[in-house]
Amino acid sequence: MHMLSLLADLPTTAAALTGDNQLQKIFEITAYLIAGALFILALKWLSAPTTARRGNFAGQIGMGLAIIGALLGHGLSYQWIIVGFVVGAAIGAPMAIWMPMTAVPQRTALSHAFGALAAALVGTAHYYLFFYNNAGLTENPPPTIMAMLSLEVLLGSLTFTGSLMAFGKLQDLLPTRPMVFPFQKTLNFTILGLAFLTGIILTIHPDMTWLFPILLTLAALFGILLIMPIGGADMPTVIALLNSYAGLSASMMGFVLNNKLLIIAGALDGASGLVLSIVMCKAMNRSFANVLFGAFGQVQAAAAGGEKRTVRSSTPEEAAQIMEAASSVIIIPGYGMAVAQAQHKVREMFDQLTKRGVDVKFAIHPVAGRMPGHMNVLLAEAEIPYDRLVEMDDINGEFPQCDVALVIGANDVVNPAARHDKNSPIYGMPILDADKAKTVMAIKRSMNPGFAGIENELYYADNCLMLFGDAKAVVGALAKELGENGH
Ligand code: NAP
């Protein structure tokens, strides 16, 4: 709808203005229109590995055009904008270059914190400037604008503090365990309710300026309280939700500033963040309602297994021989492959196996690793053909016919307890049926648990062999064995 109104604006605006102004305005609207279309295409393309790079590029061009359109479309003085640009680039560039792939969740949290702070500050400045510029006037800002502005600062400041908390937990700067206390939910609801009430009063009586800092404070406090009960491990899901809040805040800012591109981009961001957090909740068997209200992630530590069980460990030589004799191998990558940066070695092993005519596929669990798409990105980086990457629902039926399931640094996503153990914290989480393969081989460094902190019964199964060691070293050794045996 806003894309159409951008189009409709063109002739009216052009007719109303003259000379340089007219050109500037036409340029701004055209840039916004193209940017809006590119944002939509970017989201569409980002949803499939084959087009994801194109999507990323389209998003960048769109954002570049949006910035240029905004800068040239108004008679601005540029010195402060240049200062902001330099400071922003000085913070953003090192973050992008030096933070490893495994730290992307916390990097995303920081980006949301900055974006949300910007939205809250713009809203605050807009509010106070209105009264400053109109000192002595009796007129108030219209209620619709005040409603949008209140929502903008409410969402902006709660996302700011919430994202900073999420960053602190993911980066181990704050205790990662869930922090809980009596009547926590009641307190959370009360503070959120009070923040909304303050926003409503400000909408009706915008001149009660003393209420504005209270709105900001209540929202900021709710952001902190929202994240407190969430364990560091469940944080990526909440980050997707905070992404959604930051987007909605930007969209509200678009209404307040009458900037249609901000409305479009914010709405896209808000909707995609929401969809992502719902998808992640489903894949991790969490309640979405609990995420919304900050009563999430209180996973009980699993009871320690009673009897002592033994596992069978194997060597890369033996494992390579088994794989050579196989006609189909399904590789299950997980967080350990990401930490070990083993994807290039995995590619070497994949090449060796396919050279021998073994059918090799990769089973991708929606939450393998620490963020959605984590495995796809790493495997794409190693140039594994996209058609070899198969989603969980499509590959699960193939495990019973498969000769070898090779688990590389994955743990929870292949734990059969999720299917039958009602007491397990991951009960109900959809898993990859690796245990149904004829032979399972699992690469990990020790018997330590994964993200959910629980033992994995798969390792004790009769058809499972353990390959202990760092994923990069073990897969490298497997590739070497296969290479040597091939000549
Ligand atoms: P996981 O359950 O965390 O297990 C990873 C395994 O990798 C560990 O058991 C660890 O065992 C091993 N490992 C670590 N470093 C290694 C290395 N250098 N070499 C070899 N192995 C190594 O991982 P997952 O199976 O991928 O499951 C992901 C988990 O994260 C799920 O519980 C999911 O719910 C959660 N999660 C995912 C997302 C998402 O969006 N993807 C978001 C939030 C939470 P050792 O220590 O013995 O080596």
104 CB within 6 A, ligand 1: no
What percent of the chain has pLDDT above 90? 59
Largest Cα–Cα distance in the chain? 89
CB 322 within 8 A of CB 253: no
Please report, in angstroms and rounded to a whole number, the separation of the first and last CA atoms in the chain: 63
372 CB within 6 A, ligand 1: yes
Alpha-carbon span 283 to 300, nearest angstrom: 19
Angle of helix 211-227 relative to helix 104-133, nearest 10 degrees, comes to 170
SS3 for 100? coil
Cα(49) to centroid of ligand 1, in Å?
A: 22
The backbone torsions φ and ψ at residue 23, rounded to the nearest 5 degrees and listed phi first, read -60, -45
pLDDT band at 238 (very low <50, low <70, confident <90, very high): confident
Predicted confidence (pLDDT) at residue 18 exceeds the cutoff of 80: no
SS3 for 234? helix
Q: Which atom of ligand 1 is nearest to the CA of 456?
A: 9
Predicted confidence (pLDDT) at residue 298 exceeds the cutoff of 60: no
Task: Give the count of beta carbons closer than 10 Å to the beta carbon of residue 96.
Answer: 9
238 CB within 6 A, ligand 1: no
282 CB within 6 A, ligand 1: no
Cα(412) to centroid of ligand 1, in Å?
A: 7
User: Of the spans 131-135, 146-150, 280-284, which averages the highest pLDDT?
Assistant: 146-150
Predicted confidence (pLDDT) at residue 431 exceeds the cutoff of 50: yes
Torsion of Cα atoms, 50 then 56 then 59 then 63, to 10°: -170
Task: Give the count of beta carbons closer than 10 Å to the beta carbon of residue 184.
Answer: 16
Q: What is the total residue count of the chain?
A: 487
The pLDDT tens digits of the residues spanning 162-213 come to 999 999 988 889 887 778 889 888 999 999 999 999 999 999 999 899 999 9
| Closest by CA position to 157, among listed 261, 237, 242 | 242
25 CB within 6 A, ligand 1: no
| Closest by CA position to 112, among listed 277, 228, 244 | 244
Alpha-carbon span 392 to 334, nearest angstrom: 13
CB 163 within 8 A of CB 113: yes
Is residue 435 among the annotated active site residues? no
| Closest by CA position to 32, among listed 74, 73, 69, 72 | 69
Alpha-carbon span 199 to 208, nearest angstrom: 11
Strand pairing class (464-468; 359-364): unpaired
Catalytic choice (412, 421, 462, 470): 412
Torsion of Cα atoms, 38 then 43 then 44 then 49, to 10°: 120
* Mutation choice for ligand 1 from 367, 468, 474, CB with most ligand atoms inside 8 A: 367
Predicted confidence (pLDDT) at residue 267 exceeds the cutoff of 90: yes
367 CB within 6 A, ligand 1: yes
Predicted confidence (pLDDT) at residue 409 exceeds the cutoff of 50: yes
Q: Which residue's alpha carbon is nearest to atom 38 within ligand 1?
A: 370
Q: What is the DSSP letter of 469?
A: S
Q: Which atom of ligand 1 is nearest to the CA of 334?
A: 26
